[in-house]
Amino acid sequence: MQDVKLFDNRLLFKNEMVTEANMAAVFGGKRIVMFGLPGAFTPKCSNKQLPEYEDLYEQFINTNKVDDVYCISVNDCFVMNAWGNAGGTGGAGGG
């Protein structure tokens, strides 16, 4: 597998806090699943897509081939955190 180059510094949203982080330090040396969804609180994303990834989370982790799973979207950190809490994930994988 080819190495993916990450930007040295970007904004990272985590638990309703905006912090600048070195992406190589956050993701370097880890095997992650990162998936994107069009928008928080949209019917298809909330009722179908996100629950499917939530169901697969333990399977990903239990393979011992994935260190963590991240969901990205066009929404800000406040909306994403609220969506995670409303969906029962408790904001898990919130970056």
Catalytic residues: 45
Tokens 């955190």 belong to which residue?
Answer: 81
- By residue count, the chain amounts to 95
Q: Is the dihedral of CA 21, 25, 28, 33 positive or negative?
A: negative
The pair of structure tokens assigned to 95 is 């970056």
